[in-house]
Amino acid sequence: MTDVARRAGVSVATVSHVLNGTRPVLPHTRQAVLDAVEALGYTPNTLARSLVTSRTRSIGLAVSAISNPYFTEILQGVEAAALEAGYSLLIADPHDDPRHERRVVQLLHERRVDGMIVAPSAEPRELVGYLRRHAVPTVFLDRLVDAHMAEHDPPGGAGTAVSAGAAVSAGAAASAGAAASDGAAVSPAAPVAPDAPRFDQVCAESAAPTALLVTHLAGLGHRRIGLIAGQSGLSTTGERVTGYREGLAAAGLEYDARLLVSGNSESDGAERATAALLGLPDPPTALVTANNAMTIGALRALRRHGRSVPDDLALCCFDDFAWADLFSPRLTAIAQPSRELGAQAVRVLLDRLAEPHRPARTVRLPCAFVHRTSCGCPEEPGRTDAAGRTASSTLTEKGTAS
């Protein structure tokens, strides 16, 4: 830094301010420092700097199923926003295993990341306990948790997983609804122990978009609409089950527990669940799948049973993906703002690092309804974009911070 300062004709302190962004510097002075850095090939010693500042300018990201296109796009959003802010990214895959999740988060913490972005498992009790004990600045992404959960809370609060392909009972559906309630926006006014850190959360709307898919199918004349739900215990599963039931009620349709089955958020589980629905004495005429992996499994089951979409069964799915318009018919879907979710999580985490004592908040982003043809609607020439999407409408829900 002394060499850089000498070449630029400034003080070492000015070089430090330019490189660390700790104080505004006149544009011509800043450029002189940057030119000197370039000419001398100077590389800041981030390890030494972290010893002085207690900051490593790194973020830990723990996201399961990185191979899933939805999480891949989230990762791209996180990476771009972190890089723009001058932060590096350390990535781990918890594999949706609560014990492995706790371990990988500890490993990230031991690398002295400044904060973490975590998509929690369905049973995050150990994870939340660790983060609370060590006061790790954390943003929960996509899946919400009860911010007051502690490691000494009684077991059983996360719910019991429903076996793939089995009909979800009314009690299980109620548990899923409870999961949605647990994932509600965190209010700064809610009571919390003085020494209990709170957690920021970022997610997309789930209930209203799912209800929209159901009412859309009902509007096309369907009276028996099934749902392939995700893994029990996840807030996304609970909220989409809630949306499904709200959509049925809005359409004046009676809820039939036999039409609500669990695909466990995976392709194989959805294939078995779809087969179970098709084996009912009075099977559904329309189907909603609650994520992109389960959409693939449902399509596989329909093909194996010789059913055509939408002639034999109409299909709508939660999650849009790059090749959704390549299927025949093209998939009607709810598109989540994946990259923006990742970028927003970084921004919320940086706000937390800048103001450690600010009230915790939950940020929800709106989704878009992408109208194609798997629902049974005809093609509408001239209304598709470059990605094959029929002019999609953004749902009325707005992103909120509470």
The b/e string for 123-153 (b: 16+ C-beta within 10 A; e otherwise) is bbbbbbbbbbeeebbbbbbbbbbbbbbeeee
- pLDDT score recorded for residue 342: 97
- pLDDT score recorded for residue 54: 58
Residue ranges of the domains in the chain?
A: 2-44, 55-159+181-203+338-364, 204-336+367-401
Non-local CB neighbours of 306 within 8 Å, separated by 6+ positions: none
Rounded to the nearest 10°, the torsion over CA 135, 138, 143, 148 is 30
- pLDDT score recorded for residue 70: 85
* Displacement of CA 185 from its chain's centroid (Å): 15
Which neighbouring-strand residues pair with 1?
none
CA atoms within 13 A on the CB side of 368: 14
What is the distance between the alpha carbons of residues 257 and 226, in angstroms, rounded to a whole number?
9
Q: How many helices (DSSP H) and strands (DSSP E) are in the chain? A: 13, 14
- pLDDT score recorded for residue 163: 30
Residue linked to tokens 């049925």: 248
- pLDDT score recorded for residue 355: 93
Do 2-44 and 55-159+181-203+338-364 share a fold? no
Residue linked to tokens 């781990």: 92
Other residues' Cβ atoms within 10 Å of the Cβ of residue 372 = 23
3-class DSSP assignment, residue 18: helix
- pLDDT score recorded for residue 185: 31
- pLDDT score recorded for residue 309: 96
User: Residue 132 is which amino acid?
Assistant: R
Q: Which CATH class is domain 2-44?
A: mainly alpha
- pLDDT score recorded for residue 238: 95
Which neighbouring-strand residues pair with 262?
229
Going residue by residue through the chain (402 aa), what tens digit of pLDDT does each one get? Answer: 899 999 999 998 998 888 877 788 899 999 999 999 888 888 766 555 555 555 679 999 999 866 677 888 999 999 999 999 989 999 999 988 998 999 999 999 999 999 999 999 999 999 999 999 999 999 999 999 874 553 344 333 333 233 333 333 333 333 333 333 333 332 232 333 344 347 999 999 999 999 999 999 999 999 999 999 999 999 999 999 999 999 999 999 999 999 999 999 999 999 999 999 999 999 999 999 999 999 999 999 999 999 999 999 999 999 997 776 677 789 999 999 999 999 999 999 999 999 999 999 999 999 999 999 999 998 765 444 434 444 445 553 333 333
The token duo for 265 is: 């958020």
- pLDDT score recorded for residue 385: 42
What is the distance between the alpha carbons of residues 139 and 199, in angstroms, rounded to a whole number?
6
Surface-to-core class of residue 229, CB atoms within 10 Å of its CB (0-12 exposed, 13-18 middle, 19+ buried):
buried
Other residues' Cβ atoms within 10 Å of the Cβ of residue 284 = 22
Pairing mode of beta strands 368-370, 332-335: antiparallel
What is the distance between the alpha carbons of residues 214 and 291, in angstroms, rounded to a whole number?
15
CATH 3.40.50.300 applies to domain 204-336+367-401: no
Q: Which CATH class is domain 55-159+181-203+338-364?
A: alpha beta
The token duo for 338 is: 């994946």
pTM score? 0.75
